[in-house]
Copies of this chain bind each other. A is one copy, B any other.
């Protein structure tokens, strides 16, 4: 069932496209899932991708569009008329995917497409979803769900569900509401299958369920669904009316994006890129942090320059510049990574700041002391003057403790002010600690040696 998409496969396909061999292309792609077709299209040039897209069956184009990378999708949508977008894509999509695509269109075209949607209920649901922030529960939810009234019996319930199921692609969960559409609980398929048909729903539904409020942040929804192993979670408004549901596949996307963003941030990459992007896209994503690094290391350089007469007297000192800079950087990156990860997976509780700082000092002090002993032994073994062991040990320990504190405190403070703590990882931390490191190192050296 799983077909591997290899470079060789893509090359064969490009060859067929070059020769406009339509039957062969159609045959080659007919067994693929829309997600595979989208993956293949992302690997082609835009002209090749659109060529393939136009050969696809009407009933899968909407699923392909949803799975495409944003820039490719945007260019394809620009080619389609509002009527085409409404009838060929939006009509076939679930409300959440439809709203996501509409949100990407320019305002004028968006309004045109909405007015072209045939099913008025569908259009209304989509317009409703467009109101919510894309990073909130409302921005993630879909309107399609199966709900039953607490006053129905199992029999009415099955009959009503049959009707509703016509409009719903997959039945994930059956929600129980009261006459005012307020969420009461869920009905398990198991009890629906195993209870006599005359039993009222009121007697068999599960009351104690998890739900989220429509304005809840998507990261929060992810934490809740992950913690309680939920596949789908109902969304309510502030009056507890059932307004939608979020499925785990969308949450998996949130989790992966969040993790990738943090990883890229820690690696000094400022935009979401991947290895297949163009040189220019990669350049734009990589250059900003390098520029900051450039200014940072010029500052370190200036500090070294400030001490140059002193250094010329004690030239051996320069051989430890890499050590001081690297250790400060490495320890700082470790500390910030642990904090950023703890904030992301919610294991860092509010409060307890004092205890955390104290622990970090104890930890970095012991790391500093162990490394200092090693480096001192090395210096003595090398036959250098004992005084260098004193200088390097004290500078190294101080630099490590300060680096650990910066790595711990800066992300915590950023998080407190609702700024993404991941900014304070990677190049930010290494640059800051480079500057502080050389300053501390040469200050201590000058103090001891002169």
Contacts of A166 in B (CB 8 A): 194
Interface locus among A45-53, A102-110, A264-272: A264-272
Could you give, for residues 202-215 of chain A, a 1 whenever the CB lies within 8 Å of some chain B CB and a 0 otherwise? Answer: 00000011111000
Residue A95 at the B interface, CB < 8 A?
no
Judge whether B211 and A194 touch: CB under 8 Å: no
| Number of copies of this protein chain within its complex | 2
Interface locus among A77-85, A128-136, A221-229, A413-421: A221-229
Judge whether B6 and A350 touch: CB under 8 Å: yes
Residue A26 at the B interface, CB < 8 A?
no
Contacts of A308 in B (CB 8 A): 315-316, 318-319
Contacts of A427 in B (CB 8 A): 330
Residue A239 at the B interface, CB < 8 A?
no
Interface locus among A12-20, A118-126, A148-156, A360-368: A360-368
Judge whether A274 and B366 touch: CB under 8 Å: no
A338 to B352, CA, bound (A): 36
Selected contact of A301 from candidates B321, B337, B352, CB within 8 Å: B321
Residue A113 at the B interface, CB < 8 A?
no
A323 to B269, CA, bound (A): 19
* Nearest CB in chain B: distance from A260 CB, A: 6
* Nearest CB in chain B: distance from A31 CB, A: 9
Residue A55 at the B interface, CB < 8 A?
no
Residue of B nearest to A190 (CB): B165
A125 to B398, CA, bound (A): 57
Residue A62 at the B interface, CB < 8 A?
no
Could you give, for residues 341-369 of chain A, a 1 whenever the CB lies within 8 Å of some chain B CB and a 0 otherwise? Answer: 11001011111100010010011001100
A52 to B273, CA, bound (A): 47
Judge whether B315 and A298 touch: CB under 8 Å: no
Residue of B nearest to A188 (CB): B170
Judge whether A329 and B430 touch: CB under 8 Å: yes
Contacts of A352 in B (CB 8 A): 7
Judge whether B210 and A189 touch: CB under 8 Å: no
Residue A293 at the B interface, CB < 8 A?
yes
Contacts of A282 in B (CB 8 A): 338, 363
* Nearest CB in chain B: distance from A233 CB, A: 10
Judge whether B363 and A283 touch: CB under 8 Å: yes
Selected contact of A165 from candidates B36, B194, B337, CB within 8 Å: B194
* Nearest CB in chain B: distance from A61 CB, A: 17
Contacts of A208 in B (CB 8 A): 1
A351 to B432, CA, bound (A): 40
Contacts of A165 in B (CB 8 A): 189-190, 193-194
| A228/B33 contact (C-beta < 8 A), A171-B190, A194-B165, A263-B263 known | yes
Query: 16 A-B Cβ contacts within 8 A?
Result: A1-B208, A6-B349, A7-B349, A248-B248, A274-B341, A274-B345, A290-B371, A294-B323, A296-B326, A297-B326, A298-B323, A301-B323, A308-B318, A322-B434, A322-B438, A326-B434
A1-B208, A276-B347, A297-B322 provided; 18 other pairs, C-beta below 8 A?
A2-B210, A7-B349, A7-B350, A35-B228, A36-B227, A39-B227, A165-B190, A172-B231, A231-B249, A252-B252, A264-B337, A269-B334, A279-B363, A283-B366, A300-B322, A321-B321, A326-B431, A329-B329
